[in-house]
Amino acid sequence: MSLNGSWRYLAICVLILPGTLCFLQDQPKVLLVSFDGFRWDYIYKFPTPNFQYIIKNGIHVEQVTNAFITKTFPNHYTMVTGLYAESHGVVANEMYDPVLNDSFSMNHMTIYNSKFWEDAYPIWITNQMQGYRSGAAMWPGTDVKIHGVFPTHYMPYNESVTFQERVAKLIEWFRSKEPINLGLLYWEQPDELGHILGPDNPLMEKVIRDVDENLGYLVSELKRENLWDTLNVIITSDHGMAQNSRDRIIELDLYVDRELYRMIDHSPTVALLPEEGKLDEVYSALVNAHPHMSVYKKEDIPNRLHYKHSSKIQPILAVADEGWEILQNKSDGFVWGDHGYDNVLPEMHPIFLAHGPAFRRNFSKQAMNSTDLYPLLCYMLGIDPLPNNGSLESMKDALVNPVHEASQPRFLLDYQQASYAYFIGVILGSTLVLVFLLAFVRHLTYSQTPAVWGRQTEVTQPLLQP
């Protein structure tokens, strides 16, 4: 074989090898972005050119029904597990678990108690168990060691880290030598200022403009890094926001002695832990106390809320009507905007937009549940989902290649393959590379070896025989 022929042989190998590893090179990538408290109709109330750009070039879901209760931690965990709060266990921003005899508060370091998160496996763990890498910029729960696992890359929560810094870090992870296929990005606005101002305040226009500019920055950076056309980008939020008034306050002190109970979670959905033996007394005092407050014993919470089967849900739950606040008295802290109300209320509903190779363009669909996001993410990532309360079927009309009811995640056919597909692919690909290179070296060696080597072999060969 001539030297030129050898190089042609190597060239053929080089051309063939990428096809053998295409499932690794073409690995789908997803970036999930949450703008906390971005109500579904903000895009209609205020100028939002960057949100409108994604709607025109991607998909828009008009009504997203999130999970009860409509607060930050429960809904961010629902999005990444596909489970209702009663199943994933993060039932509120403030919790007490009598089984653990421990408390959880989003305002304290107790959020890092792994036991509160381990009723479920969030998607970054599922993704990593199946051989891939995840990166998270401040998404709630990603800086907690859940089932002994952190995301491959993550940023410990620090509100002072700018949106631009979070975007830069995610792009770095997507562009690294060992890139992530799943990114999660969280931003605190417009929730923080929505509480302070209220959603009906004219000053909210500036807040929404700022969020829209951040979205524009994200899009421009992804385009600059040639990621925009290859990433599936989902823009969503955890809940909406309702306008409050100082004329709509329900004071518990008017109806029940505060010494009879502990307030675990706060307005507008209040979790009450009565003192031992005082449950019926507290319940009787509150059940018909105010026309704008619904009060339930735990076992009587409506089934449609999916909010009773957890040790972290307290014996009594009081839920205010939209726009009303439940305080112990009027001296307690008051906010002009709030969330946590019934999840059927439109004001509690979040936004959902998406753009990328998996999604149709300029397409709107009427409705989805926030639990549907998890199976959708798993499908796009090509990983097997864990049991969940969502439906991939409900999102099939938004996809370029519609999902059939019996279809399986891309690249993966069953759970066993899901767990090992990545490693089998790497081993198989590496083996093929080695075989091709050995064949090339063999041909190159024989083509360049003097003829006397062959004669010497023939001479010595009989000496090796008995």
Q: Could you read off the pLDDT of 215-265 as tens digits, one per residue?
A: 999 999 999 999 999 999 999 999 999 999 999 999 999 999 999 999 999
Task: Fill in the amino acid letter for 375.
Answer: P
pTM of the predicted protein model: 0.82
Tokens representing residue 229 in the block: 């056309």
CA trace torsion 213, 215, 217, 220 (10° rounding): -130
pLDDT digits (tens, 9 = 90+) for 24-73: 446 899 999 999 999 999 999 999 999 999 999 999 999 999 999 999 99
Q: What is the model's pLDDT at position 256?
A: 98
Q: What is the model's pLDDT at position 26?
A: 64
Burial of 385 (0-12, 13-18, 19+ CB in 10 A): buried
Q: In order of start, what are the domains of the chain with their CATH numbers?
A: 29-83+120-242+347-409 (3.40.720.10), 249-338 (3.30.1360.180)
Q: How far apart are CA 349 and CA 453, in angstroms?
A: 80
Q: What is the DSSP letter of 271?
A: E
Across 317-336, average pLDDT: 96
pLDDT digits (tens, 9 = 90+) for 269-285: 999 999 999 999 999 99
End-to-end CA distance of the chain: 35
Across 160-188, average pLDDT: 98
Q: How far apart are CA 307 and CA 321, in angstroms?
A: 17
**Is residue 346 scored above 50 in pLDDT?**
yes
What confidence category does residue 187 fall into, taking pLDDT thresholds of 50, 70 and 90? Answer: very high
Tokens representing residue 200 in the block: 């009906």
Q: What is the model's pLDDT at position 44?
A: 96
Task: Fill in the amino acid letter for 364.
Answer: S
pLDDT digits (tens, 9 = 90+) for 404-419: 543 433 333 333 333 3
Across 371-385, average pLDDT: 97
Tell me the H-state helices in 159-314. Answer: 163-175, 191-197, 204-224, 279-286
Catalytic residue (choose from 48, 70, 72, 236): 72
Across 189-210, average pLDDT: 98
Q: How far apart are CA 394 and CA 407, in angstroms?
A: 13
Question: 236 an active-site residue?
Answer: no
What confidence category does residue 434 fall into, taking pLDDT thresholds of 50, 70 and 90? Answer: low
Q: What is the model's pLDDT at position 108?
A: 83
Answer for the pair 57, 355: CB distance below 8 angstroms, yes or no.
Answer: yes
**Is residue 440 scored above 80 in pLDDT?**
no
In the block, tokens 């307290």 appear at 314
Count CB atoms within 10 A of the CB of residue 352. Answer: 23
371 — alpha (psi -120 to 50), left (phi > 0) or beta?
A: alpha
